């Protein structure tokens, strides 16, 4: 680490060290619903623009995102995203101090019938992959 780090550089290193010591992961969960006719357009937007745009921000501590989709009874399709971060500080770097406020870009709002205005956050206590 340089003797005179750039502004924010020490903070970034602190986040990384904190995550390594505590082995903490945070899941950020959000729900949105489209009409059946907009579901494929919305999924394409998420995969081709929104997810790459999030990754391009290069937020320290952001570990990835998943997209879930299921049809529901009333001619709607439910989408769930689950983002992973390695600390609460990383969540705030991504979302700001009002970190529960959902990140829903204007193009997505045009295709969604409704969506959660607030995201839910959980500490991931166990994660097994086989």
With a CB cutoff of 8 Å and minimum separation 6, the contacts of 17 are none
pLDDT in tens, 35-72: 999 999 999 999 999 999 999 999 999 999 999 999 99
The answer on pLDDT for 77 being more than 50 is yes
**CATH number of this structure's domain 9-123:** 3.30.70.100
| Sequence-distant (≥ 6) Cβ neighbours of residue 108 within 8 angstroms | 32, 42, 45, 46, 50, 115
Confidence of residue 122 (pLDDT cuts 50, 70, 90): very high
Q: What is the pTM of this model?
A: 0.80
Q: What are the residue ranges spanned by the domains of the chain?
A: 9-123
């Amino acid at each position: 680490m340089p003797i005179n780090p750039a502004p924010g550089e020490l903070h970034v290193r602190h986040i990384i060290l904190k995550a390594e010591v505590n082995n903490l992961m945070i899941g950020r969960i959000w729900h949105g619903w489209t009409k059946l006719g907009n579901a494929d357009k919305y999924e394409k937007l998420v995969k081709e623009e929104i997810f790459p745009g999030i990754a391009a921000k290069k937020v320290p501590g952001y570990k990835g995102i998943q997209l879930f989709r299921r049809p529901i009874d009333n001619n709607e399709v439910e989408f769930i995203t689950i983002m992973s971060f390695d600390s609460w500080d990383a969540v705030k770097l991504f979302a700001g101090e009002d970190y529960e406020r959902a990140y829903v870009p204007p193009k997505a709002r045009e295709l969604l019938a409704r969506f959660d205005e607030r995201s839910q956050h959980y500490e991931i206590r166990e994660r097994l992959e086989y």
